Structure 1
Amino acid sequence: MFDHFPAEKAHRILESGPIVLVSTRGVDGQANLMTMGFHMMMQHEPALVGVIIGPWDHSHRALVETGECVLAVPTVELAETVVDIGNCSGDTMDKFQHFGLTAVAAETVGAPLVRECWANLECRISDSEWSSRYNLFVLEVQRIWIDNEKEEKRLIHHQGDGRFSVDGEQIDLHQRMVKWRYLM
């Protein structure tokens, strides 16, 4: 009935959050972007997001130095660009310029927003206790920007090994969420 699936591929089943672009600006003033699929909501208030950013990522240094970043949420029309951003390093190029993306000043952090993305979440490190052991940073969302004029709102989700899914039809069951109504 069931087939075996390798434990090291758990992310292909459980990673359902959208791909994001992590925007940073180092103390040298250089802005950078990286593609990230390993993140998770940790709590509502304050809004905490766990992200995996290791020393192998060029953005790691800027995040550690400044303690802040922007999580930019692209929609499906940027899918190929998002993958390409993840396949090169910011230590050899200006990714905003190379990929034709627009850096926009944020309000609460030094890292830029990405104009072409549907949403941008300004974040500061809230907890880095697990960063040396698991490369896990806990970010507190400071401010969120949404482009409500953007027609395309379908997000892309990494399923591992270069496979992606795209948001489809939504179903609205908020009336059934009686236990969690205070969060709406």
Structure 2
Amino acid sequence: MTHQMKKIDFPVSNVRHFLEPGPVVLVSSQHHGETDIMTLGWHTVLEFSPSLIGCMISAGNHSHQLIRQSGECVINLPTSSLLETVVKIGNCSGTRCDKFHDFALTAEKGERVSAPLIAECHASFECTLHNDQLVDGFSFFIFEVIKAHVAASPEKPETIHYCGDGEFMLSGKHVSRRSLFRPDML
């Protein structure tokens, strides 16, 4: 049986603590031989086929320009073992450092894009810019995933989720309710 929860007023500027989307990712980019990696928490699945992912990448971020100019990137999924690296990458600018070198990350050649994959991440999704109509007004890029690379194990990696204020949550126990779904809704 469910029960009603008593609620209190909460600052609207802090709702991200509850609504921050999915796992933190590392977005790698490349243009004219210059590479960058950025930490990103603002992304969402927009469509399944084609596989479209929306990402908010601030115009003040060095990766914004590299991605805008190249029209591609790689969305990499780090696990909890990379938490400190994820934070450190987010605290520095690619205009002042070589993040692959400085954080001892391995750049792997993509199959479909020139942006590098990060070998230490559990998954890497090669993306091309599908639609840029919201970039100028909202810094919102819509990418199509054109090639996906995922480690064979673990099947359910411990991913990192940002809650704001420098706090993270690690993915936890998986609970199946598959039997409750209609087959066409899976």
Category of TM-score, reference length = shorter chain: over 0.9
CA distance in 2, matches of 1:168, 1:77: 14
Query: What's the TM-score once normalised by structure 2's chain length?
Result: 0.93
1:161 match: 165
Superposition map of 1:25-174 within 5 A: 25-27=30-32, 29-149=33-153, 153-174=157-178
2:17 match: 12
Please list every run of 5 or more consecutive structure 2 residues that lacks an aligned counterpart in the other structure. 1-5
Greater C-alpha radius of gyration: 2
Please list every run of 5 or more consecutive structure 1 residues that lacks an aligned counterpart in the other structure. none
3-state SS of paired residue (2:128): strand
| Equivalent residue letter for 1:117 | C
| Equivalent residue letter for 1:22 | V
CA shift, 1:10, in A, is 2.1
Query: What's the TM-score once normalised by structure 1's chain length?
Result: 0.93
Does the alignment pair 1:3 with 2:8? yes
CA shift, 1:54, in A, is 1.6
CA distance in 2, matches of 1:178, 1:112: 39
3-state SS of paired residue (2:100): helix
3-state SS of paired residue (1:70): strand
CA distance in 1, matches of 2:184, 2:160: 27
Task: Name the stretch that deviates more: 67-76 or 140-149.
Answer: 140-149
Q: Sequence identity, in percent?
A: 37
CA shift, 1:147, in A, is 1.2
CA displacement, residues 34-63 of structure 1 (integer Å, 9 cap, x when unaligned): 000000011111111100012110101110
